[in-house]
Structure 1
Amino acid sequence: MPKIIKDFIPASQKEQRPGYAMVPLYLTIHNTANTSEGADAEMHNQYLHNGAGGRTVGWHYTVDDKEIYQHLPTNENGWHAGDGENGTGNRRSIAIEICENSDGDFRKATKNAQWLIKKLMKEHKIPISRIVTHKHWSGKNCPRKLLDDWKGFIDEINGASNQEVDNYNGHSIVDYLNSIGKNASFRARRRYAAQYGIRGYRGTASQNLTLLHSMRGDSQKASYIGKRVESKHAGQLRFYNKPSWSDKYVVGYLKKGYGFPTIVAKLKVGNGYQYKVKNSKGNVYYVTASNQYVRVE
């Protein structure tokens, strides 16, 4: 567990600590883009305290391979997202800079950042779908060392999906499948597991969830099948060509009142859920299942 050192920028230093109250809705991830030796979290902390070279810029955390510096309280905004004074990135997100100094271990710094992200997600009830890149807000190529495998970065925050096994009467699905051996042959159990795509009695979180619903005869979980889903979000709601929250799989947007005529399934994706849907031409897409953003009719 990395050490968090709180060294807040003085409130009088408005160019780095604007001081607007904030209830964070997002976590925005950056790379420092500074490969110089010694450009670690402590150095970046000093950089901000010394006025950031005259720039109007400030963020909440800097993470390196050994420690984490916190520069701003998480209930105040920073200038980091490049989306303007009133932009959602600047005004509603906690900013985390990951160091890439040449004398540091970038992989370890990334691991430390992922630990911090999990901590902040829990503290502020921020879902995995709202862990975003700097590029998400302004188009800047940042975090430059993570963009090529952003999905992998997010998957590591989620943890191994095989460890996200739901319970059935207090037991994991694996244990349950083994336990029904009293009433079924090994071959029958293998067929039962294979029916739900669970290899060696263990599959992804979404596969295990599907299996659980079948075991429980949970008709409520299937009440949405075949129904229409539409956006009730005031803005543009993203939909994807894969069960993912990654920007690179976004293929379109739904205006309020627009949607898909047929829900095929409901999947667990990261810490949230998505509907697998079909449009009128039979093409398959994925859209959030959160009733905060969509309604089912």
Structure 2
Amino acid sequence: MVKTQDVRSQMPGGNSKRNISQIKNIARHHSATTEGTAQSFANYHVNHHGWNTSGYHEVILRDGTVQIAYDDNVVTNGVGGHNTPTYHICVVGSGSFTDKQEEAFEERAKEAMSRFGLDVGDVLGHNEFSNTNGYSHSSNSCPGIDMDKVRGWLGGSSTSNSKPSTSSSASGRVESKVNGLRFYSKPSWSDSDVAGRVDEGIGFPNIVRKIKVGNGYQYEVKNSKGATYYITAASKYVTTTSGSTSSTSSSGGTKLSLPTGVYSMSRNSSEQLADVKLIQAALNAANFNCGEEDGYFGAKTDDALRRFQSVYLPYEIDGVYGQNSRRELDKVVNG
């Protein structure tokens, strides 16, 4: 799960709206700069181009952080003549992008494809849009990357389209990415002898214990930040944290049981401690950190839930855990 920042309140304009059903494409852009943010690009678009609304719904910074700039139903100014049916994602850089950015783009593009009912063929680079209404796009260098490769990554096509972050080392170690984390194994490993590693860019974990599951095994590992993962040779895993309540699913993973009630800061009570702990465990597992799982729905839990909602329920950012938040959290942490 990538780190997100909600900067929508800092963006200009946003008054031109559309129906979500009108969205037919996702556009990839590059900023053609070595640095920058959604805010700085918006300032340029307003002051230099005279636009009321900036060009991008999302901006992916060099460290992989995703800035959410506009709601889905806002028409932005990314590709002239094609803006009403297009959702725009900008990757900061000029023809050179980091592994973290590519991982973030893949996650966000797939999320947007799911929201709008699109497929890989609907993801286009800026210069792939047709010239229309006096706008010339085909000669544009944006997005600064071969989009056939990008679509190959999104669609899981042949190894010839492998991203820089997916590789095989001289020792035969194979690296594959699962939900933004890297899992290392060897082709010959089976569930009974897997010795995997999960890397968050900070350090490799230690294998804590081997657990018999059906006819195979899964391994409990901890990374350098203390988070726990359950993995198998098939790269199945789920994150939990110390003290989380979980149960083993029939597929061999670990499933968090989420409460069905309504919870928020204004509804705090001692009778809700166990349920709020489960909500906190799920938010931590989804990488929307809320700190200690103490059963108290305080400011940190409220903030984490709102950040989660800004990504998965952008029209329901109210800090209230209810039916919709439960549904989306369940999808993220339990699959």
Give TM-score scaled by structure 1 length: 0.44
Question: Which structure's relative contact order is higher, taking Cα pairs within 8 Å and 6+ residues apart?
Answer: 1
Please say which structure displays the higher CA radius of gyration: 1
Give TM-score scaled by structure 2 length: 0.39
